[in-house]
Amino acid sequence: MQGKRIVLGIGGGIAAYKTPSLVRQLVAAGMDVIPVLTESAHHFVTATVLTTLSGNRVRADLWDLDAENSMGHIELARWADTLLIAPATANLLARLAHGQSDDLLTTLYLATTAPTIVAPAMNVEMWNHTATKRNIGALKTDGVHVIGPEHGEQACGEIGLGRMLEPEDIVSQLLATTGPISASMEGIRVLVTAGPTRESIDPVRYITNASSGKQGYAIAEAARDAGAVVRLVSGPVALPSPRGVQQIPVTTAAEMKAAVLDLAGDIDIMFGVAAVADYRPIRSEPHKIKKTQQNGPSISMDLVENDDILASVAALPDPPYLVGFAAETQNPIKNAVHKRERKCLDAIVVNDVSDRSIGFDSDENEVTLLHADGETTFDRSTKAQIANKLVSAISALYAKKRT
């Protein structure tokens, strides 16, 4: 089952004493855990305890021929559904951020395509150091989920940010980040469109919108974590490419439509999350438009309507299960109900973007899913959590439609 196999990387910090409890809780939540220790982790926790509690032989050494014979490190990297590193010390974060692979754990990080979650733990001054901040920034850009640390009393006696999250919080954040444990989309072929499109006015100007792509990328990742084979047709965004997802970059609505139609025949479920420009300039000027006296104080531009991508897919002889998205500023539910019918969609997800704290560029969202049998509202939470819930709900609706 997807999401169930955890490689638990343990760094050499005092918080490692909590990892036997973390292993117990992961196992109790139904997960199969293989602990991997760094060399210094052995000073804080024993392989015997971790092997007993996980039921799996602890791994620690890249050069352990016996262990490599039973499951080589690349095999272990492929086995993992999630790489969870707790505690992640300052030194370990630095090695991960720089792509070093000088021990088993850092090699696994480079070799796995599974999502990686790190739970940092260190002295408050080490956490506040610009070098650590730089490394954390780099890891986030590389798509690593960073959970914690939290504020509190530290083993060194100081009080401040740097404590590793408690094992129960790590388990709940793991579930929220990676989605449900069950393989709700195993082998299903999913297409996601995300981000804005850019419609060229001249070589240096274009029409676009405020879409960040965050919700679409989160859906692609949630579907991947649920076992789907995911393709992501993306407009221009400033987000790292999700691991294990085939990404097809496009710029204009016409390019997005062509890429989608090219794939649509081999797709089971399509999430049209992209904010596709409704209109484009009737012609893109070959040279930069000059500001001249002749043009006067105002100029005008003729626009022509872009094709509706979802409607084009819906018109195919055997369309995939189609999920549209509607960002509304007025009467969201009423407008979305009409949009679902007009575009012949199986389901539509609506959010009220008049509230600036949700939707578009924010990290949170609150949405309502409308389909033929009813509606469900998902309360405000992170876009990753909304994505997990939507993927679960859509996989159930898709299974129902198929039977």
Where do contacts with ligand C5P occur on this chain (CB under 6 A)? Answer: 193, 253, 272, 274, 276, 278, 306, 308-310, 324-326, 339
Long-range CB contacts for residues 349-356, cutoff 8 Å, separation at least 24: 349/323, 349/324, 349/325, 349/390, 350/325, 350/326, 351/325, 351/326, 351/327, 352/328, 353/327, 353/328, 353/329, 354/328, 354/329, 354/330
Q: Which one of the listed residues 110, 156, 258, 315 is annotated catalytic?
A: 156
Closest separation in Å from C-beta 272 to ligand C5P: 3
Closest separation in Å from C-beta 201 to ligand C5P: 18
Count CB-CB contacts under 10 A for residue 236: 15
H/E stretch holding 85 reads: strand 82-88
* Order of strands, sheet of 229-234, starting from the edge strand that comes earlier in the sequence: 246-249, 229-234, 189-194, 269-272, 321-328, 347-352, 364-371, 374-382
For ligand C5P, the closer CB: 38 or 197: 197
For ligand C5P, the closer CB: 114 or 273: 273
Is 156 known to be catalytic? yes
For ligand C5P, the closer CB: 329 or 377: 329
How do strand 269-272 and strand 189-194 relate by DSSP bridges? parallel
For ligand C5P, the closer CB: 342 or 400: 342
Kindly report the length of the chain.
Answer: 403
CA dihedral (370, 242, 167, 28) in degrees, to 10, reads: 70
For ligand C5P, the closer CB: 36 or 274: 274
Q: DSSP letters of 248-290? A: EE--SHHHHHHHHHHHGGG-SEEEE--B--SEEESS--SSPPP
Closest separation in Å from C-beta 69 to ligand C5P: 50
Closest separation in Å from C-beta 89 to ligand C5P: 43
Closest separation in Å from C-beta 322 to ligand C5P: 9
Q: Which residues belong to the active site?
A: 156
